[in-house]
Chain A
Amino acid sequence: MKTVIANKSYLLVAIVLLAFFLRFWQLGQNPPGLYVDEVSLGYNAYSILKTAHDEYGNFMPLVFRSLNTYNPALSVYTLVPSIAAFQLNEFAVRFPSALAGTLTVLLTYFLTYHLFKKRNIAQVASLLLAISPWHLQFSRFYHEVNIMVFFSILGLVLLFYSFKKHYLVYLSAISFGIAANTFHGAKLWIPLFLFVILIFYNREIFKFGKKLIIALLILAVFSLPTILNFQNSLVRPNSVSIFKEKKPQETFISGYLSHFSPNFLFMQGDFMGRHAVPGMGELYIFELPLILIGLFNLVRQKNRTAKFLLAWFLIAPIPAALAAPTPHAGRALVFLPLWQIIAAFGAYSLWQIKIAKYTKSIALVLLALVAIYNIATYFHLYYKHYSKEKAPDWSDGHKQMVQYIGQVYNGYDSIAITKYYGYPYIYLLFYLKYDPVKYQPQSENKDAFDKFHFYSGVLPRTFGKTLVITTPQPNAQNVIKQIKMNNGDTVFVAQN
């Protein structure tokens, strides 16, 4: 503790505690409901925990089949300890992402400190990431990209520290290897990022000698799951690829540039409801002047740190630009914590400008006022508006539907549920904590299990007394229950 206070690290501790609080507070309730991908990954992790097999009965798979696609293995395995500790619920599914988000704030400090050797730049960068709308959004639900960002930043920090302690290069390679197995975009991003790191830090990296070969072997081992399941690994990337478009090169350029759009960054954010809070950009508007000053000074400096950060800045949108739609806050999350580092450097540069103290004070007070208003608006929008406005984007109502079914389950011979919203089966498995041993043998049939039948359009043939869960219809008869989202809108009705 004495060392912490002596080094003035208590500020860093406070920043990390703030990051922890902002990521964990009301984690299970806001966003309001689990999105289908979270539910699927969560149930597969539960299945692995209980049986060492996934929902399809595959033993410890290296690539997970899930909702007509295949996901990198670590997207599921990172959830297993959390589900073991907290049971199968919303908090457990989101816990790894919130934890990774908090730790990324800490890593941002070490990364920035290594790059600039200035404690105050590192503190500002980590503080900006702690309160970043973009990073908070992705830390408060389970999206593999947030885990990838954490492991890639960990890999980078370890690599920088390995220049002095060479053995850390193995841990760095392991981190990058894990990152490559968390998210589809990582297959492109991690090699690209490593290539850029190699360009600017080759002098130190080639000093590793034999250790470098072992590190490369570690990376090769981690690339095996992708190579061994190459066809399956391409299912998702192919479905969103821009190469199906008429003019892919034009789509790529406009997609690439769209990630630098000030409206995307500072005013509106991503249009996908899960990726941003309506009325907010991905970054705060008060960061705009700091980013501009930071960028200008980086370009002017021309040292290695500046060149490395600018190269990162230029390659970050590439994975996102190769897919549609754009701009995409998720696929472009690899921009973090770069924006915050640039803004922190901009703030430092602003502080260094030699102008009258009086003028500087006025500028700082104005910036602080805008920042306070901006931050207050964001938290108001997130905690007051978001759960009401974007409830449908989070499949809110599915949990309530399953809870209702749980209450009346014994009173019916069969239960028919509409597939209008996508995949009701996985919500039933998740919220009923359905025994994976019972489900795995019948997993190929996605139209029925147990006494549940899933239909789109025409009702399936059922037997005995049937409960029908459908979407709200005008003049519907025999409605025995309206199932509502947290904002009060009806999402399902139960009919006899």
Chain B
Amino acid sequence: MSPKTRMKIIILLLIAITIVFKQAPKSQACDVYAAKRAIPPRIFYEQTIDGNNQPVLITRFLHNKIGIFASEVAKCYFNVIAPNAMYAGAGIFGVIFEIYLAYKLVLWKKWYILIILLLLPFAPFFNIFENQIYYMHKLFALFGLAVFAIKK
């Protein structure tokens, strides 16, 4: 093994260590129950602002249960996949290598793996892996690092 390769391996190992040992925070409660609970007060609030003069059809079209529930689900999902969540779970190198992994999966058209990767953040929404979600970021970041190491 050449000194250059040895150096590369050491750097990659150091990066892996920073990813693994990044202290993960506790995840916030953001689940299906919270999303359901948000619906009635939101509808009441929006309807109060719209007032009685507005046609009911418009109010129902713009402020409805499905729309509010979908926006709550999206907020929970985006909370989990946000770059800041990646940073909290796996550090700055984690952010870089998770994005790198996603890019490579699209490039190689590995759609099934990508779909799994994209669906997993829904798990905490159904109270599955609630507290393990930050470890998922570590895992994906390490996969990304491994892909990078193999490629380079």
Select from chain A the residue with minimum beta-carbon distance to B68. Answer: A279
Asked if residues B71 and A257 are in contact (CB atoms below 8 Å), the reply is: no
Stretch of A357-365, A381-389, A449-457 with 4 or more beta carbons under 8 angstroms from chain B: A381-389
B13 to chain A: which residues have CB within 8 Å?
none
Select from chain A the residue with minimum beta-carbon distance to B71. Answer: A267
Known: A267-B71, A267-B74, A377-B62. A385 touches B49 (CB 8 A): yes
Nearest chain B CB to A242 CB, angstrom units? 15
A residues 249-278 touching B (CB-CB < 8 Å): 253-254, 257-258, 260-263, 266-268
Q: What 0/1 readout, one digit per residue, does chain A (372-383) give for beta carbons within 8 Å of chain B?
A: 000011001000
Nearest chain A CB to B60 CB, angstrom units? 12
Known: A254-B84, A257-B95. A263 touches B78 (CB 8 A): yes
Instruction: Decide if B131 is an interface residue (CB 8 Å cutoff).
Output: no
B79 to chain A: which residues have CB within 8 Å?
263
Asked if residues A262 and B49 are in contact (CB atoms below 8 Å), the reply is: no
B residues 65-97 touching A (CB-CB < 8 Å): 71, 74-75, 78-79, 81-84, 86-87, 92, 95
A residues 276-333 touching B (CB-CB < 8 Å): 279, 285, 296, 299-300
Bound form: Cα–Cα A296–B84 in Å: 20
Report, as a range, how many residues of chain B touch the other chain: 20 to 34
A263 to chain B: which residues have CB within 8 Å?
75, 78-79, 82
Known: A299-B103, A376-B62. A254 touches B87 (CB 8 A): yes
Select from chain A the residue with minimum beta-carbon distance to B95. Answer: A257
Select from chain B the residue with minimum beta-carbon distance to A267. Answer: B75
B92 to chain A: which residues have CB within 8 Å?
253
Instruction: Decide if B106 is an interface residue (CB 8 Å cutoff).
Output: yes
Mostly, the B contact residues are: helix
B81 to chain A: which residues have CB within 8 Å?
262
Select from chain A the residue with minimum beta-carbon distance to B91. Answer: A253
Bound form: Cα–Cα A185–B92 in Å: 25
A299 to chain B: which residues have CB within 8 Å?
103
Instruction: Decide if B116 is an interface residue (CB 8 Å cutoff).
Output: no
Nearest chain B CB to A401 CB, angstrom units? 24
**When the two chains form the complex, which single residue of A296, A300, A389 contacts B49, counting CB atoms closer than 8 Å?**
A389
Instruction: Decide if B107 is an interface residue (CB 8 Å cutoff).
Output: yes
Asked if residues B50 and A384 are in contact (CB atoms below 8 Å), the reply is: yes
A296 to chain B: which residues have CB within 8 Å?
103, 106
B62 to chain A: which residues have CB within 8 Å?
376-377, 380
Bound form: Cα–Cα A285–B75 in Å: 12
Bound form: Cα–Cα A299–B86 in Å: 21
Nearest chain A CB to B87 CB, angstrom units? 5
B residues 13-60 touching A (CB-CB < 8 Å): 46, 49-50, 54, 58
Asked if residues A261 and B50 are in contact (CB atoms below 8 Å), the reply is: no
The 17 listed contacts between A and B (C-beta, < 8 Å) are A254-B84, A254-B87, A257-B95, A258-B83, A261-B78, A261-B82, A261-B83, A262-B81, A263-B75, A266-B78, A299-B103, A376-B62, A377-B62, A380-B58, A384-B49, A384-B50, A385-B46
What is A's interface to B at a CB cutoff of 8 Å?
253-254, 257-258, 260-263, 266-268, 279, 285, 296, 299-300, 376-377, 380, 384-385, 388-389
The 8 closest A-B pairs by CB, nearest first: A262-B78, A257-B83, A261-B82, A263-B78, A260-B83, A257-B84, A385-B49, A267-B75
